[in-house]
Amino acid sequence: MLLSPKVTAVLRPRALTSNSRAAVEDQLSCPVCCEIFADPVVLRCSHSFCRGCLHQFWNKKGTKRECPVCRRRCSLTEPTVSLVLKNVCDTLVQEQKGLETNGFGGKLL
């Protein structure tokens, strides 16, 4: 099946500029460690963290479980795994590794 050039152009992956790539990485970064989320979890206040970073923060706080960003109290059932965020971050990390191993200096997404 042949696709029109317009459809092909829409379906073709596009490179992000360095500014937009930085913005994407910023949105996918843990506010505690400032790295791309690893095993991301989300609190009821909608803030997301790496699971390890959040538990490390809570261990330092002792018995007080609160969001590191907005300080809202958290229940004992929190945090919740964020599968969508995990999949997006895993894809980004794999693409970054692929760029490094292929020797491309221009970071594309």
For residue 39, the domain's CATH number is 3.30.40.10
Counted domains in the chain: 1
pLDDT tens track for 69-98: 999 999 888 899 999 999 999 988 888 777
Residue indicated by tokens 């330092």: 60
Residue indicated by tokens 């317009």: 6
List beta partners, residue 81. 41
Buried b (16+ CB within 10 A) or exposed e, 93-104: eeebeeeeeeee
The pLDDT value recorded for residue 7 is: 58
The answer to whether residue 74 sits within a structural domain is yes
The answer to whether residue 4 sits within a structural domain is no
Its domain, for residue 41, covers 19-92
**Pick the residue with more confidence: 6 or 46?**
46
The answer to whether residue 67 sits within a structural domain is yes
The answer to whether residue 103 sits within a structural domain is no
Burial of 50 (0-12, 13-18, 19+ CB in 10 A): buried
The answer to whether residue 88 sits within a structural domain is yes
